[in-house]
Amino acid sequence: MTLTKKDAVEVLKQIQDPELAIDVYTLGLIREIKIKKKDIKVTMTFTSPTCPYAPQLVASIKAGLKTRGFTEPEMEFTFNPPWEPSEEVKMMLGLA
């Protein structure tokens, strides 16, 4: 079976930020997804550089991707540019 970006996105939409109760994909924390056969590299950011849930989110993402069939997901982190909620997310959080 060939794994696709759509497969990865389906997994990411199931992983919620524990503090905001919105999935990491909708929040805009996922910056890039690269797939080569069953290998995947996810570049992501966090709501802040000191996010206390970062280890939990990373573990959940890796476990979910492995369950879907990706082998040893690779994670990369960036804070450039810093995370900024979209208008849609602001509305979901009651900030707009």
What is the tens place of the pLDDT at every residue in 30-72? Answer: 999 999 988 999 999 999 999 999 999 999 999 999 999 999 8
Share of the chain above pLDDT 90, in %: 91
In this structure, the chain runs to a length of 96
Q: Contact at 8 Å (CB) between 44 and 29? A: yes
Asked if the model's pLDDT at residue 7 lies above 80, the reply is: yes
CB-count burial class (<10 Å; 0-12, 13-18, 19+) for 71: exposed
Contacts of 86 (CB under 8 A, 6+ apart): 28
How many independent structural domains does the chain possess?
A: 1
CATH number where 14 lies? 3.30.300.130
pTM: 0.92
Dihedral of CA atoms 36, 39, 45, 46 in degrees, nearest 10, equals 150
The neighbouring-strand residues paired with 44 are 30, 77
In the predicted model, what is the mean pLDDT of the chain? 94
Q: Which residue range is the domain that position 29 belongs to?
A: 5-92
pLDDT of residue 34: 97
